[in-house]
Amino acid sequence: MKRKILTIKNKEELSISELILFQPYKNIVSNFYDLAINKEAIHFDAVSRNFSGIDNADSYIRDYYEAMLGVTSYYQASKGGRGKYIEKKIASISESCVLDFSMSEFPKFLTIRNILRKKKLYGDYFLSKDEKKDLRTHEWDFISNYNCTTDLINLLPNKISFLELKNRVDSGGVSARREIWIKKFPYFFEYFKNNMILFKFKEKEYTLYDFLTENNINTILLNIGLLFNVSGEPATKEGDKSKGFYSSNEEGYKFIKKYIEDSNVFSIVEDNIDNLFLKIKYEDIIIEIRAVYGNDIPVILLEKNIDINDLLLNPYDDIWLFQLLSIEQRADLLKNDDNLLLKIDKLIKSNYSLRLIINEFINEEGNNIEKLTDLVSEINNDNLVVPHGREKIDYIHDIIYFYCANY
């Protein structure tokens, strides 16, 4: 049975979307593998065993239950790249988009954006020595203690689009939205209101207004984005009103409108509470504030029409397949001090010709199903027992994938 396994692929030939997943997947799969072959990888103390009822479980499922608790508790506790996954997927669409942005990075965003973007998407591990040096020795100074942050930022012709992202209309509850409307947005306006000096290049100092105008940016978009309804479809205003916290959007909108009206430096150009849209002017800079839903998020942030559901398609089997295999193999390990994975590992280590076939299979990124079938026929014997109800050849196929993904 052919599987699509990312962690067997050659990292140097992966797409941006695949690279976002590769290292987190590799770390998780490595830990799944250790749980499957190392009995001491997770140990439940007496209190944990008592609380979870491990020793009370019927004898025929006790080991499976303990293995399931151990493997799934590891996975649920592991960040595994999930925290910033959706931001990375969105940022990967456009070469001008960066995630996890802070105002102190604005000069880098405009001058060495490709390096900054690479760091944010993949981490320091993927940066060259020269790229790390460019980030460390960048000439622009940030000389303010007032450092605004945002989830995503994108450079568009003569404009900058900022996005604060929530995965669902109920993410974080009312407080999460209020945080954006009542704290984050006003925080940004303080840069203009107080004419703060933020940057210094050589001997010249810049306010945010100075910096924007020097770089021909005359429009700022401040967006709060809501990706999905509670039902799992791309978010809509109607879905937010029925199963979300739409009223907090209106409360936040009214707050920021009053904040602007009470200031002496901004003027309101357009006020549309029905569409949660506010256009503001500062000198010759236009600032637009809006709440944006579902498939409108890529339009506003990136000026691209993209279906959010398509964006999140993931064709790879690594996590679900290897987590289930790890549970089953760990259960056998707890019960018998041995399992199928260890038996196959021993066979491969004791047979050079098998190792050559494994190497070829890995070099072909797990795509040669005929090679896999040949390998299974070479190692299959009566000593290799698979879980009850599982087709033996297919199961050994999956174990081989698991074995290869760990290397």
Q: Clarify whether residues 279 and 201 are in a common domain.
A: yes
Q: Clarify whether residues 299 and 278 are in a common domain.
A: yes
Domain boundary among 255, 287, 305: 305
- In 3-state terms, what secondary structure has residue 96? coil
**Among the listed residues 154, 40, 38, the one whose alpha carbon sits nearest the alpha carbon of residue 96:** 154
Do strands 219-228 and 285-293 pair parallel, antiparallel, or not at all (unpaired)? Answer: parallel
Q: Clarify whether residues 206 and 297 are in a common domain.
A: yes
Distance of CA 15 to the CA centre of its chain: 15
Q: What are the φ/ψ torsions at residue 160 (nearest 5 degrees)?
A: -125, 135
Domain boundary among 305, 327, 349: 305
Q: Clarify whether residues 301 and 362 are in a common domain.
A: no
Q: Is residue 1 part of a domain?
A: no
pLDDT in tens, the chain (407 residues): 789 999 999 988 898 888 889 989 999 999 999 999 999 999 899 999 999 999 999 999 999 999 999 999 999 887 666 778 899 999 999 999 999 999 999 999 999 999 999 999 988 888 999 999 999 999 999 999 999 999 999 999 999 999 999 999 998 888 888 899 999 999 999 999 999 999 999 999 999 999 999 999 999 999 999 999 998 899 999 999 998 899 999 999 999 999 999 998 999 999 999 999 999 999 999 999 999 999 999 999 999 999 988 888 888 999 999 999 999 999 999 999 999 999 999 999 999 999 999 999 999 998 888 888 888 888 888 889 898 889 999 999 999 999 999 98
Distance of CA 232 to the CA centre of its chain: 18
Q: Clarify whether residues 100 and 231 are in a common domain.
A: yes
* Single-letter code of the amino acid located at 214: E
Q: Which range marks the domain in which residue 364 is found?
A: 6-81+315-405
Q: Is residue 208 part of a domain?
A: yes
Q: Clarify whether residues 263 and 331 are in a common domain.
A: no
* Single-letter code of the amino acid located at 310: D
Q: Clarify whether residues 15 and 138 are in a common domain.
A: no
Domain boundary among 244, 270, 305: 305
Residue showing tokens 């089953």: 328
Q: Clarify whether residues 47 and 102 are in a common domain.
A: no
Residue 380 CB neighbour total at 10 angstroms: 12
Q: Clarify whether residues 292 and 223 are in a common domain.
A: yes
Q: Clarify whether residues 27 and 172 are in a common domain.
A: no
Q: Clarify whether residues 163 and 267 are in a common domain.
A: yes
Q: Clarify whether residues 241 and 186 are in a common domain.
A: yes
- In 3-state terms, what secondary structure has residue 108? helix
Residue showing tokens 């509850």: 173
Q: Is residue 86 part of a domain?
A: no
Do strands 141-142 and 197-201 pair parallel, antiparallel, or not at all (unpaired)? Answer: antiparallel
**171 with 179: CB under 8 angstroms?**
no
Number of domains the chain contains: 2
Q: Is residue 88 part of a domain?
A: no
Q: Is residue 89 part of a domain?
A: no
One-letter-per-residue 3-state SS of 168-202: ECCCCHHHHHHHHHHHHHHHHHHHHHCCCEEEEEC
Q: Is residue 24 part of a domain?
A: yes
For residue 332, give the H/E element and its range: helix 318-336
